[in-house]
Structure 1
Amino acid sequence: MSDHNTAPPERLYHAEEEHHPENGTYLGFWIYLMSDALIFAVLFATHAVLSQNFAGGEPPAELFSLPLVAVNTAILLTSSLTFGYAMLAAQEENVKSAIRFLAITGLLGACFLSIELYEFAELIAEGAGPTRSGYLSSFFALVGTHGLHVSFGIIWIAVLIAQIKQKGMQEANLRRLSCLSLFWHFLDIIWIGVFTFVYLLGVTA
């Protein structure tokens, strides 16, 4: 007796292929990145509008330490370089090297966050918290949102390291690593904008 509810393996394969189109994950992730870029665009625009709203408080030149921010910027940009090495190692199926460079990237990201949190704590201790003025509200919103993204990136790195240790450089892990690479480099680009327009121009204006 034939079973009409059981499709031939070839038909099942084509049906599964229809539900998982080629490069569908990358397309979806690019859409996510574009939506995230819009969020940061709004935050940048808000900060630009409130850039002179100090409410009688100190201007950026008296609030920020450019050398400290420059060091933090160098740390994040270096993490982008180490992530690039992780991608090269992954393409060569060098699992140990990929994991090592991913771990270094995560540590650099944690250093970046530590310095950022230190800066926030110093500002709040000096009475320059997010409720002090419109300028500081927009500053904390923009820089804090970026920092939150870096935190998610570090968690993602840790999870991916565990997945690679468990299953190696299979196709799914390579795809996840590529998406994480896009995300991490995207955060670097956003931070360059923050450093240039918020810190550098703010202090020198």
Structure 2
Amino acid sequence: MQSSTATAGTAGVPYRPQVAAHFASLEVQNHAARLGMWLFLATEILLFAGLFVIYANYRFLFPEAFALASRELNLNMGTFNTLLLITSSFTAAMAVHYAKEAKNKQVVLMFVLTILMALGFLVVKYFEYSHKFHEHQLPGPYYAFPGLTLPGASAYFTIYFLSTGLHAFHVIIGMIVLGWVTLKAMRNEFSHYNYTAVELGSMYWHLVDLVWIFLFPMLYLI
């Protein structure tokens, strides 16, 4: 019976993963990991889909308030964050490419760049949030912005903070996951037969990017 732990190679050769006892082969084991990730990502999409439905409902009820409230967001910051995430999605994809070729140093570089761009995204979001707090453009009963008093304005900022806050939480989780995979790459663990962790981490990061692609036009461009 084989162990589920990886076996270290010699002379700097990347680790070779072992097949767990309940899998017929390494290919089946990797396929099961990918299927599990796809199922997990599906539940994450359902989570955000609920927010999109709530947004659509209130947008229908308060169209004027939502249109005016969206103009209170900083389009330049939102666009910059969009560019950051799109670029970080590219570097995450390149990490998978390099992992397949056992180029672990390049995997480390690509994921470090991805994490730095994620950190930049959070810094920009911090300044956005700070401005909203200063202007009292807050969710629900805490809304006290004198420049927009139409009914529904507080609902818009409730959805804004809820959806972008949940997304920022996923960004932080993604940074932790990619950081863990980066540590494995620094130990020279990845190669053409062992890159599943890189692939799954990249898949999660693509979800973070995809969700923002929907949030950006929904909140900033309406």
Q: TM-score range by the shorter chain?
A: 0.7 to 0.9
Q: Which AA in structure 1 matches 2:36?
A: G
1:36 and 2:44 aligned: yes
Q: Mapping of 1:77-96 within 5 angstroms?
A: 77-96=86-105
Moved more, 145-154 or 173-182: 173-182
Counterpart amino acid of 1:114?
Answer: V
Candidates 32, 45, 59, aligned match of 2:68: 59
Q: Structure 1 CA distance, aligned partners of 2:20 and 2:117?
A: 44
Contact 1:50/1:138 (8 A) holds in 2: no
CA contact (8 A) 2:89 2:205 kept: yes
Q: Does 1:181 align with 2:202?
A: yes
Three-state SS of the structure 1 residue aligned to 2:138 is coil
Offset of 1:57 from its aligned partner? 9.8
CA distance in 2, matches of 1:15, 1:80: 35
Question: In 2 relative to 1, CA 172–114 (structure 1 residues): closer, same or farther, beyond 3 Å?
Answer: farther
Alignment of 1:1-205 (within 5 A): 15-17=21-23, 21-22=28-29, 23-51=31-59, 53=62, 59-131=68-140, 132=143, 133-169=154-190, 174-201=195-222
**Letter matched to residue 22 of structure 2:** E
- Residues of 1 paired with 2:66 and 2:20: CA distance? 65
- TM value normalised by structure 2: 0.77
Residue identity over aligned pairs, in percent, reads 26
Q: Which has the higher helix share?
A: 1
5+ long unaligned stretches in structure 2? 3-18, 144-153
Distance 1:58 1:125, change over 3 A: farther
- Quote the Cα distance in structure 2 between the aligned partners of 1:81 and 1:34: 21
Q: Which amino acid aligns with 1:32?
A: F
Go from structure 1 to structure 2 and tell me whether the alpha carbon gap of 1:175 and 1:69 turns closer, same or farther (over 3 Å shift).
same
Q: Distance in 2 between matches of 1:173 and 1:58?
A: 49
Unaligned runs of 5+ in 1: 1-8
Alpha carbons of structure 1 residues 129 and 81: separation in structure 2 relative to 1, 3 Å: same
**Distance (Å, rounded) in 1 between the aligned partners of 2:20 and 2:95:** 34
Tell me: CA distance 1:111–1:173, structure 2 relative to 1, closer, same or farther (3 Å). farther
The one-letter code matched in structure 2 to 1:42 is G
Shift of 1:105: 0.5
Distance 2:68 2:193 in 1: 49
1:154-205, Cα deviation, whole Å (9 max, x unpaired): 111111111222252157961111111111111111111111122111xxxx
Tell me, yes or no, if the aligned pair for 1:79 and 1:108 is still in contact at 8 Å.
Answer: yes
User: In 1, distance between residues paired with 2:217 and 2:137?
Assistant: 21
Q: Distance in 2 between matches of 1:86 and 1:159?
A: 14
1:91–1:172 CA distance, 2 compared to 1 (3 A): closer
Structure 2 contact 107–185 (Cα < 8 Å) conserved: no
| Contact 2:102/2:190, CA 8 A, preserved across alignment | yes
In structure 2, what is the Cα distance between the partners aligned to 1:106 and 1:41?
26
* Residue identity in the other structure for 2:101: E
- Equivalent position amino acid for 1:115 in 2: V
Number of matched residues? 190
